[in-house]
Structure formats: C-alpha cells, structure tokens
Amino acid sequence: MQDDLNEIYKWAEKNIMKFNEAKFDQMTCGVTEDVDIEPYKTASGLDIESKNIVKDLGVITSDKLLFKEHIDSIVLACKIKQGNILRNFETRKEEIMMKLYKSQIRSKAEYCCLVWSPSYKRDISRLERIQKSFTKKIEGMEDKNYHQRLKILNLYSLERRRERYMIINTWQQIEGQRENIMGFEINGRARHRTIKETRVKWNRSSKNSSIIYNSPALKMMRLFNSIPGELRDTTEVKLDTFKRKLDKWLSLVPDTPIIDNYKAAAESNSIIQQASHSRK
C-alpha cells in the first residue's frame, strides 16, 4: 500500500501538484486480526492518522461498513431542510411543494445511495419518514395515510426508488452502458439470463458474512435476478425503453412501506419480497 502511495506522490510532483496532507486519513475495514495494519506515510514522511469514521465525496463511512453515521446525517439534514421550506414558503400547493421536495430534499436523501443503501429495517424506516413527513404537509394530504399519498402524488417509496435504481444500474453494467465495476457475469445456462457476481466471495460462516451479503454488488445481483425473465432478457435497447418496461412491471408490485395499524402481506416492502409474495 505504501508503494502505491509513493507512486501517487511521484505522479503529483511530476505534474506540479501538491496534496493537502492535513486531509489524509487512514481507515481499516474488516476483522482487525485479519488485516495487516501499517503506519502509512505522507509524501513529507508524516504518519497518516488512523480513523474509524471518514467522509469521502460526501459519504460518511465507518470501519464497520454499516453507514449508520451517514444515514444519521441524511435524516438530520433533510429534517432541517424541511423546516426551512415550511417556514419560508407559505403555500402548501401540491405542484410547488413537490418541486421543492424533489429538488431540495429527495435529491439529498438519495445522493450516492447505491453505496450506502440500508438493509436494516430501522434505517429503512428512518429514511422513509423523510418522505412520509413532507408529503403529509401538502394541501389535501393531511387526512390521507402514507400509502394513499404515494398513489395520489404518483410517488414510489424511497426504498422502492433505491432498489429501482440498483436494478437499472445493474442492467446498464451488463449491457455495457456503464463500466462493469461490480464484476457481473451473465449465466447463460438458464432459460432467461441471470447474473452472478465474481469479485465478492460470500461465506455464511464468515465473521463479516452479513456485511458481505448486504454489500452493493450482492444486493444488486439479487434484485436484478428477482425481476421477470422477460425484463432480464431486455437487451440492445435504449435506457428509457428498459425503464418503461421496468416501471410497467413495478406498477403491479405492491409498494407498501410499514405504517401504523397496517399489517404487511409480504415480509418486507423490498421488491424481492413483494414480487415473491405476489406470485404466490
């Protein structure tokens, strides 16, 4: 690792660039005894400080890879933004409120969600309350429950939007419309194409099994393989065509996040669970 850093330092010097060494951080992920921890150095020979939590490109990551701190920051930021909107805009008209919500709040709640999309129900519920709270403030929505508001306002739940984006991103990777950074490969033996992930090795008995199982690559693989074979076989078409087909199918899959006094039919609101329950 230090050799790689040294090469970067040489490249920067050659291109007359200078790093801000005060912003260098080192974070070790995984089970400590399985990781070789070294005191890495900056170009000037200073030790790079080791931290349990770092922020990179707007995403807060911890050495546990659970993104709890990042989700905490999103919930707080969206709560503050909602308060600012409600104080500074007198109108509660649907058209204006929805434009404000989509541009100022939802965009913040979904930034880089491919990386940190949660798997624990508590985190999923906390994020969903962002949209649940704001939509209730819209004129005419005060006496409607969340499921009704989603239909009237033509919205997906935030969980459904995150999973939809994962499916779309996966399709783009296997179609060559994006770099295949996850290492997806098509399984040609099945009647309809399915994918497998070749770079992440999951062992149920591993100390990190739940973290690996819920990693973006494996989650994207499971979601893509859960959609109908006809959708998975969609190939050599424009992105908008695939999106239209996906949305047509999703319109038949219940989008019912947990609300008060509601007993969910499926185990969760995940596309995988809802689609499986609908086929029964």
- Residue 266: per-residue pLDDT: 65
Structural domain spans, the chain? 2-51, 68-154, 161-256+263-279
Partners of 49 in the β-ladder: 25
Question: Could you report the per-residue pLDDT of 114-142, keeping only the tens digit for each?
Answer: 999 999 999 999 999 999 999 999 999 99
Q: What is the pLDDT of residues 17-54, one digit of tens each?
A: 999 988 899 888 766 555 567 779 998 988 998 899 99
Cα separation of 255 and 133, whole Å? 17
pLDDT digit string, tens, across residues 211-242: 888 889 999 999 999 999 999 999 999 999 99
Is the pLDDT score of 103 beyond 90?
yes
pLDDT above 90 (res 64):
no
Phi, psi angles (nearest 5°) of residue 246: -65, -45
The burial class, CB within 10 Å (0-12 / 13-18 / 19+), for 274 is: buried
Query: What is the pTM assigned to this prediction?
Result: 0.88
Let me know: does 169 contact 209? Beta carbons within 8 Å: no
SS3 state of residue 25:
strand
| In contact, 214 and 119? CB cutoff 8 Å | yes
